[in-house]
Amino acid sequence: MQFRRALGLLPLALLLLAWELAVQAKVYPPVLLPPPAKVLMVFIDDWDTVLGNALASISRVAVGISLAFLFAVPLGLMIGRYRLLDTMTDWSIQIFRSIPPIALIPMALLFLGIGDKPAIALIFLAGTWPLLINTIFGVRGIERTLLKVAKAARASEFLVMKDIILPAALPAIFTGLRLAVGGGWLTVVTAEMIAVKSGLGYMILNAQLTFRSDLIIAGIIVIGAIGLLADQAVRMVRAHVCRWQEGLTASPE
């Protein structure tokens, strides 16, 4: 199993090899395509720049996605539970979720100026729709007998929400969270290229202006690595929270 997992590194190793060969063959001048070793040096020489910007990006995503979670999950539980709310919100959700957050950057700048606020607002929007839609979907998927059990036991609406609807929707909520974190991460990098003066997006755009291609590539590597780690983290939390699901689903998610 451990060995199998290591197979996931194979494509990355091949990419690294191709990169080194391209440098050796001088496909591009070194100022455009630095060797892997030089990019590695960035993490030693400029670690504070990389770390500082990475933390700025991560905290924006953390705040934006947390806000989206607190907003979308309760709302989704209600929409999923109450037919009338669903009818009311269905069209709006379909319209707003079709708008890429990037398209809202100009408006975010006009209303919120330059800084953390527009970036966080965009991440919030990027995370809200997948969370909302998956939460609704999760509530819909609940077995009808379970609601009958609750009704027959004369359970209060609050208990039904807390002990039945929420846990039933949790696996779907986590699917939404994975999508939200992924979307939030894509959005933060883009937003930082335009709306803020810090973060990994800002760092790589700035590196282009100063011809630091090594810093650009280092930035891209960090963006990808954090994306992977964030996804793994959500999966681990999900596996823990939804451990009652083990052995219920056909394949481990």
Partner 1 sequence: MSKFLECIGVGKIYPGKTEPVEALRGIDFTCDAGDFVCLLGRSGCGKSTLLQMVAGLEKPTSGQIVIANRELDGPSPEAAIVFQDHGLFPWMTVQKNVEFNMKARGVLAAERRATATQFIEMTSLTGFADRYPHELSGGMRQRVGIARALTTRPKALLMDEPFGALDAQTRGKLQDEVLQIWEKQRTTVLFVTHSIDEALLLADRILVFSPRPGRIAADIKVDLPRPRTSQSPGFVALARELRGLVGADREID
Distances in Å between the alpha carbon of 229 and those of 26, 224, 235? 33, 9, 10
**C-alpha–C-alpha distance, residues 61 and 184, integer Å:** 6
Is 161 a residue that touches partner 1 (CB under 8 A)? no
Token output for 207: 């590196």
**C-alpha–C-alpha distance, residues 122 and 101, integer Å:** 6
Q: Cβ 190 to partner 1, closest distance in Å?
A: 38
Is 157 a residue that touches partner 1 (CB under 8 A)? no
Q: How many residues bind partner 1 (CB under 8 A)?
A: 23
Find the part of the chain contacting partner 1 (CB under 8 A) among 29-37, 41-49, 216-224, 240-248: 240-248
Find the part of the chain contacting partner 1 (CB under 8 A) among 22-30, 39-47, 188-196, 239-247: 239-247
Is 167 a residue that touches partner 1 (CB under 8 A)? yes
Is 248 a residue that touches partner 1 (CB under 8 A)? yes
Find the part of the chain contacting partner 1 (CB under 8 A) among 10-18, 56-64, 76-84, 140-148: 140-148
Is 68 a residue that touches partner 1 (CB under 8 A)? no
Q: Cβ 86 to partner 1, closest distance in Å?
A: 20
When binding is defined by CB under 8 A, the residue of 92, 98, 156, 251 that contacts partner 1 is: 156
Q: Cβ 66 to partner 1, closest distance in Å?
A: 24
When the beta carbons of 85 and 146 are compared against partner 1, the nearer one is 146
Selection from 82, 39, 59 nearest residue 207 by Cα:
39
**C-alpha–C-alpha distance, residues 63 and 84, integer Å:** 31
When the beta carbons of 76 and 118 are compared against partner 1, the nearer one is 76
Q: What would the x/- binding string for partner 1 be over residues 169 to 208, using CB under 8 A?
A: -x--------------------------------------
**C-alpha–C-alpha distance, residues 73 and 79, integer Å:** 10
When binding is defined by CB under 8 A, the residue of 149, 225, 236, 237 that contacts partner 1 is: 149
In single-letter form, the type of residue at position 170 comes to L
Q: Applying CB under 8 A, which residues contact partner 1?
A: 143, 145-146, 148-156, 159, 163-164, 167-168, 170, 242, 244-245, 247-248
